Amino acid sequence: MLNSEIIRAKRDGQALDASAIRQFVSGIADGSVGDEQIGAFAMAIFLNDMNDVERIALSEAIRDSGEVLDWRDMDLPGPVIDKHSTGGVGDVVSLVLGPWVAACGGHVPMVSGRGLGHTGGTLDKLESIPGYDIAPSSARFRQLVKDAGVAIIGQTGDLATADKRFYAVRDVTATVESIPLIVASILGKKLACGLDALVMDVKTGGGAFMPTHSASKELAVAIATIATGAGTPTRALITDMDQVLAGSAGNAVEVAEALAVLRGERHDSRLYRVTRALAVEMLKAGGLADDDAEAVTRLDTALASRAAAERFARMVAGLGGPADIVERSDRYLPKAPVVRPVYAGESGHLAAMDTRALGMAVVELGGGRRQAGAAIDHAVGLSEIVALGERVDGERPLAVVHARSEADAERAAASLRAAMQLGEAPPPRLLIHAIVGPDGRVTEPGGYS
């Protein structure tokens, strides 16, 4: 079938069969399909959607456009499980979750990305650690997943080869915001990792990619059902992003906070609670726990015994970083020359937070990218960020700014004050808005607070 006829069929609202979708995606990967045809194909999908059969076929075709990892020859003693997040501000979950699940018997081959827009990137955070290699050889990556139970690295050119080119065309043809295309892009990469199970963290709220609850739910249901239909049982949590998840936003400052959680120092934090909720679902999905109670017991033991922290240290050392990073992070993580608190100028409770604006304040400090490929400053960011409902006054600042210069700090302070609204303390928000099972069934509200 000619590629132009595949485009025509989708343009006219017809459902495509799996062979046509696979042919077109193969052409994206090998270059035989031009950018103009990719753009037309993406627009046809954007306008006419895809049914579930097509969505599964597209996700599988992107998965199969490159290497698909196979762990059977590694004789792993536990399941291969992973998590993916749609991204947020202060979302340093992966750095805690991967080693925590590994300490409970899972094997987590986490292929992560860089920051996008106002959201931080896991790879950028990890590159705050001196010597950490985000692009190891395949053999080294696989062995570390076996030995340490976790390895967090960047996507190689061999995985889901078609996705990078497909996304680049979508980005310039106004076709990014399409559920079937978003799902296929996410799952093409994740399914290529050879997982036994996957847990999705779909953010909702002002700092999320999908800001409304209805849009987040649609995406969560689509990912859970399509991934499961493609052979990887998947469940999703819809988690809150109406405020910064961690108490910090940046790169080195978020790594420091993740290490504090792994050391058992932040049991009351939003980061800890969301990470534990995701870890519970991962243990159940991987058959490492029969129910929530058993999963929580295993996780609490792994944290209290420092087994989770030890897995993180083994991962860092295995990828070229310092083996004592957990206990001596102050020695290794970069520090900004200007560190100062920002006060509100009046007393009151934090009533609302423009989470996206805080993410952009970090970008303006140099902690994120204004354009792809730009260098970032790992030392800058915000720490000790006030939580919704918390009281600020002359003693409690809105946050602490970490900046390269006094001028940068002053601009960040102005952005911070503009993003924070004082007033009546809002009612507590659920951290987990809903849980989506592999069959797409939604439980609302979620079982966590």
Token digits of residue 348: 């009151």
Answer yes or no: 146 catalytic.
Answer: no
Mean pLDDT of 120-135: 92
Answer yes or no: 84 catalytic.
Answer: yes
- Which is the catalytic residue, given 125, 189, 203, 402? 189
Residue matched to tokens 């709220």: 205
The CATH architecture assigned to 335-423 reads Alpha-Beta Complex (3.90)
Answer yes or no: 449 catalytic.
Answer: no
Residue matched to tokens 């059902």: 225
Residue pLDDT, tens place only, 360-388:
999 999 998 766 667 899 999 999 999 99
CATH topology for the 72-328 domain: Pyrimidine Nucleoside Phosphorylase; Chain A, domain 2 (3.40.1030)
- Which is the catalytic residue, given 10, 22, 55, 83? 83
Which residue, 261, 205, 206, is CA-closest to 93? 261
Residues of the chain with CATH 3.40.1030.10: 72-328
Residue pLDDT, tens place only, 284-294:
999 999 999 99
**Cβ distance 365 to 408 under 8 Å?**
yes
Percent of the chain with pLDDT over 70: 97
Residues in the chain: 449
Residues of the chain with CATH 1.20.970.10: 3-48
Residue matched to tokens 């609204």: 421
Q: Report the distance separating Cα 245 and Cα 248, nearest Å.
A: 8
- Which is the catalytic residue, given 22, 63, 142, 170? 170
The answer on pLDDT for 449 being more than 50 is no
Q: Which stretch, 83-97, 108-122, 260-274, 400-414, has highest mean pLDDT?
A: 400-414
Q: What pLDDT is attached to residue 446? A: 53
Q: Report the distance separating Cα 129 and Cα 272, nearest Å.
A: 21
- Which is the catalytic residue, given 84, 125, 311, 378? 84
Answer yes or no: 347 catalytic.
Answer: no
Mean pLDDT of 232-246: 95
Backbone phi, then psi, for 401, in 5-degree steps?
-95, 135
* Out of 27-36, 100-109, 174-183, 406-415, least confident range: 174-183
The answer on pLDDT for 88 being more than 60 is yes
Which residue, 433, 88, 84, is CA-closest to 238? 433
- Which is the catalytic residue, given 65, 85, 128, 239? 85
Across the chain, what does the average pLDDT equal? 93
Q: What pLDDT is attached to residue 373? A: 65
The answer on pLDDT for 311 being more than 70 is yes
The answer on pLDDT for 112 being more than 90 is no
Which residue, 223, 203, 224, is CA-closest to 118? 203
CA dihedral 161, 82, 429, 364 (to 10 degrees): -50
Which residue, 292, 297, 298, is CA-closest to 446? 292
Token digits of residue 415: 């952005």
Mean pLDDT of 30-41: 97
Answer yes or no: 125 catalytic.
Answer: no
Answer yes or no: 441 catalytic.
Answer: no
What CATH code would you report for 3-48? 1.20.970.10
Answer yes or no: 284 catalytic.
Answer: no
Residue pLDDT, tens place only, 169-227:
998 899 988 999 999 999 999 999 999 999 999 999 887 877 788 999 999 999 999 99
Mean pLDDT of 45-73: 96
Answer yes or no: 59 catalytic.
Answer: no
**Cβ distance 350 to 388 under 8 Å?**
yes
* Stated pTM of the model: 0.92
- Which is the catalytic residue, given 63, 107, 190, 284? 190
Residues of the chain with CATH 3.90.1170.30: 335-423
Answer yes or no: 82 catalytic.
Answer: yes
Which residue, 348, 347, 417, 350, is CA-closest to 382? 417
- Which is the catalytic residue, given 64, 82, 124, 196? 82
- Which is the catalytic residue, given 59, 86, 119, 122? 122
- Which is the catalytic residue, given 86, 175, 185, 383? 185
Percent of the chain with pLDDT over 90: 84
